[in-house]
A and B are shown apart, each in its own frame.
Chain A
Amino acid sequence: MTMSATASQRVGAGIGAVDSPLLTLEGIAGRPVSNTRRALRRFFQQRLAVAGLLITGFLILVAVLAPVLAPTSMEAADLMSANQFPSAEHPFGTDAIGRDVLTRVMFGTRTSLIVGFAAVGIACAIGIPLGLAAGLRGGWVDFAVMRAVEVMVAFPGILFAMFLVTVIGGGVQNIILAIGVTTWVTLCRLTRSQLLTLREQEFVQAARSLGVPEARIAVRHMLPNAMAPLIVAVTLGIPTAIFAEAGLSFLGIGINEPTPSLGKMVADSAQYIRVYWYLGVFPTAAIALAMLGFTFVGDGLRDALDPRHN
């Protein structure tokens, strides 16, 4: 993603005026506007992005406050009132062993978000340093990293995650590890390709010819310019991880009872679907909402941060 603009975009910039990321006459003469502020403005101009932000904000709030907000405790089960249709007492109904579904969905959302954020964190921790090393050092480092990437890509992701879970056991932490370890490739490739493009840019060559040390060029000149696509990829990695956890838990290779997981709730509800069809609706909606929110935010960030996208 280069910083240069085509002629058409320069023409467009004149019309787009204030929020254009390019230097306009206004930008020179008037108050300088920082890139971050401009990006923020572009972000908030998009209705879907703002909706996504509201959704994710709501979900994060629910996840954080789940222990306070939930009507019952996580494990509280009342067998006498199992499989109830949503009512005033149990707004989302109750599950097969009489647990309040609203409570379970709230804690399940908490699990999903923890997995989503942490798995992406692990993917970043592996992928970005490897991508940096490959892009900056080149040579045999690059060769080794790229071969590792090829091997990882050839692995069926879900199979590898299942494998790891059978080796290291289930539970939230191990699920996070398994998903993180299988998804770092995207970030690694992206970081590397960013650096390869930037390395040849004029401003980097200028810095180099001025005698700026390589480490400083990497940190001060290249990294900030590589950030935008990385931020987008990281944001879009969260819904992917949430989806992966739901899938693994659906197959019964994920999070163990009593920790609620939205995927597992959907799987459990499938057994009773002919009679108690409503059991799966709310966990599904929660998965969809989480996916939707983070995807909208990610798409919005892409449009806001990448001036070439319209």
Chain B
Amino acid sequence: MTEETREVDEGKPPFFDSWSKMYALVMGVLAVLILLFYLFTEYYS
């Protein structure tokens, strides 16, 4: 089977100069959410 391929432009995400920083933002938001959920659980239990 032959496959058609194309050059892929990696591009840059908005607001950041690399995708690594965008991924760090997503992981950071997740960490903050988990921390907030933990505090929420502790406060109201």
A binds B: no
Binding site for B on A (CB under 8 A): none
